[in-house]
Amino acid sequence: MLTVLVSQTTGGVARVTGARYEVLEVGGASLSDLVKSGSMHLLAHARTVRTLERETVTVQVPIDAPGKVIIVGLNYRDHAAEMRTALPQVPRVHMTAASAVTGPGADIRLPRIAETAVDYEGEVAVVIGDPASDVSVEAAWDHVAGITAANDVSARDVQNGSNSLVSGPNVGLAKGFDTFKPLGPALLTADSARDGRALALRTLVDGEIRQQSSTAQMHFSIAQLVSRISQYTTLHRGDVVLTGTPGGVGASSGRFLQAGQVVEIELEGVGVLRNRVVAPSPTPLSRNSTKS
């Protein structure tokens, strides 16, 4: 049986069982708390204190304030084909701002400095559960807490260097604007995710399917990515690795996100990550500005 967990906004962790949530006795800790403290094992014997209907519960981001957010580029065969680019010989790894992480239902805010070419990328995000430094492919899953859905929102004009207001090309900055890394809604635990079966992944914008693929299209597996990245930098509990996006991105068609649109990332076993796109914040007043 799959083990799928969520954090409630009112506190605590719940296990997803069909249309219900079983709230577990974990002393009020969030899922993020358990991951970062290395206490996920407590869930195996946690008793159910109450059962709630799913529609009555608001969930929060499964991992908040990660130490690192690492992104992998060009890791799906169908995406490489649509971009007419050869698959890489080794993973393309970048780092981006952890402050970009947000959760289910939160707004994706278009940045004033780069609002015209903002793109969606439905992805599988890996949450690290135990420190990993130079680990083997065979041992990699032992260091994973679980997986969740992610939207690797990207300002393409910053990524490709065509934005005259931003020094580029700059992949990390393009993907690191505030609110650009929604995660959620749930965590599929490593023991349920590591069996290697393909998981369906799709992205919808205002109900229209833009991406429809599966993890079978991955070029490098989750274990291969965790192993390789751990050779570059130690992965700590709560770090997040985004594993690449399939074909169908807006950059391939020129259909970028607009304020008012709703983006949904559906990952089999995890659920639907839903976020609304909103307009840039009003131009801030300078410190010396005065009202007329």
Rounded distance between C-alpha atoms, residue 280 and residue 284, angstroms: 11
State the pLDDT confidence band at 10, using cuts at 50, 70 and 90. confident
State the architecture of 69-278 in CATH terms.
Answer: Alpha-Beta Complex (3.90)
Q: Where in the chain is the domain with CATH 3.90.850.10?
A: 69-278
**Tens-digit pLDDT profile for residues 21-55:** 999 999 989 999 999 999 999 998 999 999 999 98
State the pLDDT confidence band at 234, using cuts at 50, 70 and 90. very high
Cis (ω within 30 of 0) for the bond into 185?
yes
What is the average pLDDT score of the chain? 95
Cis (ω within 30 of 0) for the bond into 169?
yes
**Tens-digit pLDDT profile for residues 257-292:** 999 999 999 999 999 999 999 999 887 655 554 444
Q: Is the pLDDT of residue 217 over 70?
A: yes
Identify the pLDDT of residue 2.
Answer: 66
Identify the pLDDT of residue 286.
Answer: 59
Identify the pLDDT of residue 3.
Answer: 82
**Tens-digit pLDDT profile for residues 175-187:** 999 999 999 999 9
What the block records as the tokens of 231 is: 């050779």
Identify the pLDDT of residue 288.
Answer: 56
Rounded distance between C-alpha atoms, residue 12 and residue 154, angstroms: 32
Q: Which of 9, 39, 2, 1 is nearest to 184 (CA)?
A: 9
- Segment 193-200 mean pLDDT: 90
The three-class DSSP label of residue 178 is coil
Q: Is the pLDDT of residue 88 over 70?
A: yes
Identify the pLDDT of residue 289.
Answer: 47
**Tens-digit pLDDT profile for residues 106-151:** 999 999 999 999 999 999 999 999 999 999 999 999 999 999 999 9
